[in-house]
């Protein structure tokens, strides 16, 4: 369940990142005296959008951590013992030695 939620959060975060990457911020300069304020408004909008995107990434990180913790708490499967037949030969083994 935690893994499924983390996977869904990853997809949501990817979509938020793609949407943020596609955004364009245009500064409309009304006058030289209002330049600082015009730039400040757009910069603040960019900052807010980046924080929102960063929050989705941090949420994914937290969900992944929770999923990993949940998986680590699952009981480990006991090792299974498998016996495979060993072929034995009924023919006698003959050793030869050559003396010179």
Tokens at 1, concatenated = 């369940």
Q: What is the dihedral of CA 26, 32, 38, 42, to 10 degrees?
A: 40
Kind plus residue range of the DSSP H or E element containing 60: helix 35-73
Least confident of 38-42, 60-64, 68-72, 94-98: 94-98
- Please check whether residue 53 lies inside any domain of the structure: yes
pLDDT in tens, 54-89: 999 999 999 999 989 988 998 888 777 777 776 666
More confident residue, 99 or 65: 65
When divided into structural domains, the chain yields a total of 1
Secondary structure of residue 4 in the 3-state scheme:
helix
Range of the domain at 47: 25-61
């Amino acid at each position: 369940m935690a893994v499924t939620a983390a996977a869904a959060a990853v997809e949501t975060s990817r979509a938020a990142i793609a949407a943020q990457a596609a955004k364009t911020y245009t500064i409309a300069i009304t006058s030289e005296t209002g330049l600082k304020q015009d730039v400040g408004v757009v910069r603040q909008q960019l900052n807010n959008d980046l924080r929102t995107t960063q929050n989705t990434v941090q949420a994914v990180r937290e969900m992944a951590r929770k999923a990993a913790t949940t998986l680590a708490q699952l009981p480990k499967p006991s090792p299974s013992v498998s016996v495979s037949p060993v072929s034995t030969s009924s023919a006698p083994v003959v050793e030869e030695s050559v003396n010179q």
